[in-house]
């Protein structure tokens, strides 16, 4: 089976940096993705790590350590609009099947 664990809630203030962790247990590993979902909206893709290290995309970065079965999403220069749920997700196998999602982390950014 597969499971992805992440904290349920994180709070921060505008301009701050926040890190959302994700630990996973998977029968095989085919990379770790991150998605953002605003309340009532569709999930949108943020980033993907197939290999160890840091991937940077603007204010958002994602890190992966396969030896530790661990990854994180780093959000810098937080803005109010970043208040949303963030999900780590992993393909269930290599051949283009569906994603398995973590339970999601609700980020609340205050002024």
Binding site for another protein (CB under 8 A): 30-31, 33, 40-45, 48, 50, 87, 89, 91, 94-104, 106
Decide whether 11 or 97 has the Cβ nearer to another protein.
97
Decide whether 17 or 50 has the Cβ nearer to another protein.
50
Decide whether 15 or 41 has the Cβ nearer to another protein.
41
- Which burial class, exposed, middle or buried, applies to 7 when counting CB atoms under 10 A from its CB (0-12, 13-18, 19+)? middle
Least Å from the CB of residue 15 to another protein: 27
Per DSSP, the residues of 73-104 read EEE-S--GGG-EEEEEEEESSTTS-PEEE---
Give first-to-last CA distance, the chain, whole Å.
41
Least Å from the CB of residue 75 to another protein: 19
């Amino acid at each position: 089976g597969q499971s992805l664990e992440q904290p349920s809630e994180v709070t921060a203030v505008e301009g701050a940096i926040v890190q959302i962790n994700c630990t996973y247990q998977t029968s095989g590993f085919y990379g770790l993705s991150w998605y953002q979902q605003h309340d009532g909206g569709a999930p949108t893709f943020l980033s993907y790590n197939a290999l160890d290290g840091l991937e940077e995309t603007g204010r958002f970065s994602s890190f992966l350590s396969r030896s530790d079965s661990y990854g994180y999403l780093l959000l810098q220069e937080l803005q109010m609009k970043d208040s949303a749920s963030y999900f780590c997700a992993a393909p269930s196998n290599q051949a283009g099947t569906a994603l398995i999602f973590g339970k999601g982390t609700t980020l609340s950014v205050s002024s």
